């Protein structure tokens, strides 16, 4: 029997999958284009945690849940930290936030992935609406800025056919070898390059003057700021030549241009400014709000999706969490011992926590440290639904099979809510809440209601509708 589901992984492509007699096949329709990547093609080969453990000894699920209840009971509620990652992108993952927030625990804020760049985007545009993946099919030139699509977004590759490709990347990646132009920039030179390219657009009268007057009237002041970047010294420092900048301007002039950014370019203290400067370069070209044009970064997978869960809580930063402040740390779908910066500090600080609970699918550095391990159910064994940060589809994730192993996020939250007398609606009510955000297209696929196919076509989401340029670097 065919069952429709979707890849749960934190990935640009968010593929639709059809489970058919124990095999996972790619949907031929829409963004998935009939193929999956090696992660999903070999999904069954990745061993999952089968049994709960306490202090290294296997225990029953019932015993594990009892122990969890005790670990939560002995603490002041705010001394419990709920640290949730994005190992699974199903929207029902957040049901555990409902329990922990209602209980009075502390939750986390921010993320370890794209947060700096997203902040810069919001500062400039007033919101973080992504250029959907499929718009790139309509572009004439694609600038791939610090992204490696052969590894991280393989469904982008078919869309690049017959386009001029410019790659800006310190590494000679596979896509860089195929590109019409590869600028092998020094790491962390992106802000300066974006500023200089904007400056040369202005010098060469290659900006979209009418667009700037309507949607970005601070463009002259920004040009003055670009003049503070010394040309020769900066080009030498970032290992880019004037000839390369000239070639970029020649390739993009009066073309439909998509700028596809990776996340490595913003993993610096000035990461917000990097993305805002790249956005400014796109604004100079008038790329927003036009078919086949724009900046594709990570976007917000929850754009236009309301939460049915109670999530109001005290929060601490996910980037430099002060674990020793907590008595019980409940880690869900995350591996802070590998993902957080300053691993040694994280290790030492987690070692001081009385109760570390790991709720997830796979063994990792954090499960190795955890006192209590509760296996989660795989996406094949529970109902869920997901959205994407790279396209606008909303994808049902139906249960493919029944498994006795692990516990779903909903069932774990239902157990805890019952134990601590907290209201929780039925799983079906929450799923229906999310399903109601979908609108059906003629081809039968579901899209998130209200998401724009071409964002910013009527200006930006700032107070005055205009792009807000950087005023200092």
The residue (of 36 and 245) whose beta carbon lies closer to ligand SF4 is: 36
* x-or-dash string of contact with ligand SF4, 171-210, rule CB under 6 A: ----------------------------------------
Which of positions 353-372 make contact with ligand SF4 (CB under 6 A)? none
- Asked if 13 touches ligand SF4 (CB under 6 A), the answer is yes
CA distance 193 to 196: 5
Rg (CA), the chain: 24
The residue (of 9 and 61) whose beta carbon lies closer to ligand SF4 is: 9
- Asked if 400 touches ligand SF4 (CB under 6 A), the answer is no
- Asked if 114 touches ligand SF4 (CB under 6 A), the answer is no
**What DSSP line would sit under 257-315, residue for residue?**
EEEEE-SGGG-STTHHHHHHHHHHHHHHTT-TTSTT-EEES---TTTT----S-----E
Nearest alpha-carbon partner for 400 in 46, 20, 40 = 20
Beta strands per DSSP E along 406-450: 438-440, 446-448
- Asked if 263 touches ligand SF4 (CB under 6 A), the answer is no
The residue (of 4 and 268) whose beta carbon lies closer to ligand SF4 is: 4
Which of positions 130-159 make contact with ligand SF4 (CB under 6 A)? 154
| Minimum gap (Å) between residue 7 Cβ and ligand SF4 | 3
Phi-psi region of 294 (alpha: psi -120 to 50; beta: other; left: phi over 0): left
* DSSP bridge partners of 317: 109
| Minimum gap (Å) between residue 393 Cβ and ligand SF4 | 11
Angle, in degrees to the nearest 10, between helices 231-238 and 190-203:
140
27, 30, 36, 374: which one binds ligand SF4 (CB under 6 A): 36
User: Which region among 4-12, 304-312, 347-355, 389-397 touches ligand SF4 (by CB under 6 A)?
Assistant: 4-12
- Asked if 11 touches ligand SF4 (CB under 6 A), the answer is yes
| Minimum gap (Å) between residue 31 Cβ and ligand SF4 | 9
Nearest alpha-carbon partner for 62 in 415, 454, 344 = 415
- Asked if 9 touches ligand SF4 (CB under 6 A), the answer is yes
- The answer to whether the CB of 281 falls within 8 A of the CB of 198 is yes
Q: Which residues bind ligand SF4 (CB under 6 A)?
A: 7, 9, 11, 13-15, 36-37, 39-40, 154
């Amino acid at each position: 029997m065919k069952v429709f589901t979707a890849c749960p992984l934190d990935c640009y492509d968010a593929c639709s999958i059809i489970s058919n007699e124990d095999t996972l096949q790619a949907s031929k329709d829409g963004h998935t284009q009939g193929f999956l990547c090696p992660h999903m093609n070999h999904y069954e080969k990745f061993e999952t945690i089968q049994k709960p453990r306490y202090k290294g000894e296997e225990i029953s699920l019932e015993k594990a849940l009892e122990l969890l209840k005790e670990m939560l009971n002995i603490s002041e509620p705010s001394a419990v930290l709920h640290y949730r990652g994005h190992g699974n992108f199903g929207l029902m993952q957040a049901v555990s936030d409902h329990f922990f927030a209602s209980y009075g625990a502390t939750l986390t804020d921010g993320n370890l992935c794209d947060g700096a760049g997203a902040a810069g985007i919001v500062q400039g545009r007033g919101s973080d609406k992504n250029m959907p993946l499929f718009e790139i099919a309509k572009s004439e030139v694609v600038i791939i800025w610090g992204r490696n699509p052969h590894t991280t977004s393989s469904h982008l590759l078919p869309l690049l056919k017959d386009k001029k490709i410019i790659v800006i990347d310190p590494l000679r990646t596979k896509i860089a070898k195929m590109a019409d132009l590869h600028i092998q920039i020094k790491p962390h030179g992106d802000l300066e390059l974006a500023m200089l390219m904007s400056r040369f657009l202005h010098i060469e009268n290659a900006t979209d003057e009418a667009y700037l007057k309507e949607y970005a009237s601070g463009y002259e002041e920004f040009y003055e700021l670009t003049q503070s970047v010394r040309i020769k010294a900066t080009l030498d420092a970032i290992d880019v030549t004037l000839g390369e900048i000239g070639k970029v301007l020649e390739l993009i002039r009066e073309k439909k241009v998509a700028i596809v950014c990776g996340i490595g370019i913003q993993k610096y203290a000035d990461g917000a400014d990097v993305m805002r400067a790249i956005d400014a370069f796109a604004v100079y070209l008038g790329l927003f709000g036009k078919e086949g044009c724009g900046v594709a970064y990570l976007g917000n997978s929850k754009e236009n999706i309301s939460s049915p869960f109670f999530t109001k809580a005290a929060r601490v930063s996910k980037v430099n969490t002060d674990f020793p402040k907590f008595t019980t740390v409940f880690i869900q779908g995350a591996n802070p011992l590998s993902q957080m910066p300053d691993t040694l500090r994280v290790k030492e600080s987690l070692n001081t926590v009385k109760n570390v609970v790991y709720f997830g699918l796979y063994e990792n550095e954090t499960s190795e440290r955890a006192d209590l391990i509760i296996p989660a159910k795989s996406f094949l064994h529970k109902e869920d639904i997901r959205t994407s940060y790279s396209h606008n589809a909303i994808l049902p994730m139906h249960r493919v099979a029944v498994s006795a192993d692990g516990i779903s996020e909903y069932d774990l939250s239902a157990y805890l809510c019952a134990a601590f007398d907290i209201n929780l609606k039925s799983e079906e009510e929450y799923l229906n809440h999310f399903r109601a955000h979908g609108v059906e297209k003629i081809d039968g696929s579901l899209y998130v209601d209200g998401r724009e196919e071409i964002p910013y076509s009527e200006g930006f989401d700032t107070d005055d509708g205009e792009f807000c340029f950087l005023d200092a670097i």
